Amino acid sequence: MSDADAKQIERMKSLLATQKSAFRADSHRDVNRRKDDLDRLISLCQKNVDAIADAICHDFGNRARQESVIAEIAFTIQDAKHTKKHLSKWMAPKRKPLPMTLQPGKAYVRREPVGVVGIIAPWNYPFQMATAPLVAALGAGCRVMLKPSEHTPATSELLKTLIAEHFEEDHVTVVTGGPAVGEAFSKLKFDHLFYTGSTQVGRLIALAAAENLVPTTLELGGKSPAILTDNYPVRAAAKSLGWGKCYNAGQTCVAPDYLMVPNGKEREVAEEIIRVVQHQHPEAASDDAFTAIVSDRHYERLNAMIEEARSGGAEILQPDHDVEAAKAARKVPPTIILNAPDDSKILTEEIFGPILPIIGYTSLDAATNYISDRPHPLALYVYSSDKQQTQRVLNATQSGGAGVNINIVHLSVPDLPFGGVGASGHGAYHGEYGFLTFTHERAVLETGKWHPSSLLAPPYGKVYEAVAKKQLK
């Protein structure tokens, strides 16, 4: 461990102690102050659009500005506005019915902040995946320590600077550093730990948090499938899937990871998707609207996946492109793979790039069985003009979320929970679901000075016998 990492780890411990002390002194932030917190985050975004987009572009080598503006900055602004609009309702105590045997009195649930929370953000959407859970935590009245990814250092440093300009350190703070800092961060005694990233690292995060019984929300990944049925127009599906697969160059946790089509349609669908992406990105290497792969290591991994599939007999389809220019720009052109070996990495590992393997299926049941035999994905997509077919797919599978005749944008619906199931994660956020993630629902029963329950205390007599007899019926 470097001296810099060691100093940062000690600083994190001190920051946590400071925030915990501040929370104890002010644990019930009222609605107006929470709305002010959200306004500060909105202002941070609105005043720094160019700086944020430029930092993300610098980290990726090239990140489509349009993607950064909509998927990162505007997403956070709209999420914060939605939370602000509904916050009073979400915070209000919730009355609950009281059984006749426990009356008179009233039962209700208080929605209280859990305390100091840690947020570990990934590199693929380095601003939004840090600030969206921050919106939820601020709405819930929590204090926050945020650890952005070391793979996007320019964005991380900018976020650290902007947060420090808009929030006191004992309220929201950003800590940066490499794997050693990240590991130490996951072991801190937070009141809740929120992690977005790979399933492999998610397991380590869960183990680290468990040492201190820290509750976690894990937003992981997995191989999100798409199913095309025989009655859905191929071109319409190709336009949707081509866009979703190439958005952020496929570096999206809910991007379709493989496509299942009826046997015999594999080539038709593959060629149509290639035509679509060729139109969307005529020359991937020079098109600023086509995002680069975030690092040399990730770029080499994706190309190794393609070559492994090719050597196993798969057919590789790509639009015409300048191979050397694409390599120099660290861009993998949109790629469709046919007949990939079952044990190839392209079919067994999450891809996280603009590569889409296509698999033929004999029947819809065979397709859903293929999906169900594998770990539950973060998302599932079905393209069908038949509502009964759609329901068959949804009934026969499990996934964190789903899209019907659309992909990836279900996570933009503010009132839908976003989260995984099984290997793709646990817990959810966005909208009220995010607010509740960082909220403790505290049960309260309130009565006057005297309550009939006192009649049930020893020595047990006729009242007890009458009540017990009635309760046992």
Helix (H, G, I), strand (E, B) or coil at 16: helix
- 10 assigned to active site: no
- Phi and psi at 217, nearest 5°, equal -115, 125
Q: Indicate the pTM of the whole model.
A: 0.95
Of 186, 191, 182, the closest CA to residue 156 belongs to: 182
Question: Domain coordinates of the chain in residue numbers?
Answer: 3-220+424-441, 225-415
Strands of 439-446's sheet, edge to edge?
94-96, 106-113, 439-446
Beta carbons of 468 and 223 less than 8 angstroms apart = no
* H or E element, residue 66: helix 65-67
- Return the CATH architecture of domain 3-220+424-441: 3-Layer(aba) Sandwich (3.40)
| Pairing mode of beta strands 315-317, 418-419 | unpaired
Quote the CA–CA distance of 21 and 171 in Å, as a whole number.
11
CATH topology of domain 225-415: Aldehyde Dehydrogenase; Chain A, domain 2 (3.40.309)
- 253 assigned to active site: yes
Tally of CB atoms within 10 A around 228: 24
Q: What is the pLDDT tens value at each position of the chain, 473 positions in all?
A: 688 888 889 999 999 999 999 999 999 999 999 999 999 999 999 999 999 999 999 999 999 999 999 999 999 999 999 999 999 999 999 999 998 888 899 999 999 999 999 999 999 999 999 999 999 999 999 999 999 999 999 999 999 999 999 999 999 999 999 999 999 999 999 999 999 999 999 999 999 999 999 999 999 989 999 999 999 999 999 999 999 999 999 999 999 999 999 999 999 999 999 999 999 998 888 999 999 999 999 999 999 999 999 999 999 999 988 899 999 999 999 999 999 999 999 999 999 999 999 999 999 999 999 999 999 999 999 999 999 999 999 999 999 999 999 999 999 999 999 999 999 999 999 999 999 999 999 999 999 988 888 878 898 888 888 888 888 88
Among 67, 246, 253, 350, the active-site one is 253
Determine the residue type at 260. Answer: M
Residue with tokens 């389809």: 317
- The full length of the chain comes to 473
Quote the CA–CA distance of 126 and 324 in Å, as a whole number.
28
Among 72, 219, 272, 432, the active-site one is 219
Beta carbons of 21 and 107 less than 8 angstroms apart = no
Q: Count Cα neighbours of 449 within 13 Å in the Cβ-side half-sphere.
A: 0
Q: Count Cα neighbours of 465 within 13 Å in the Cβ-side half-sphere.
A: 4
| Pairing mode of beta strands 335-338, 315-317 | antiparallel
Quote the CA–CA distance of 244 and 13 in Å, as a whole number.
41
| Pairing mode of beta strands 335-338, 258-262 | unpaired
Determine the residue type at 31. Answer: V
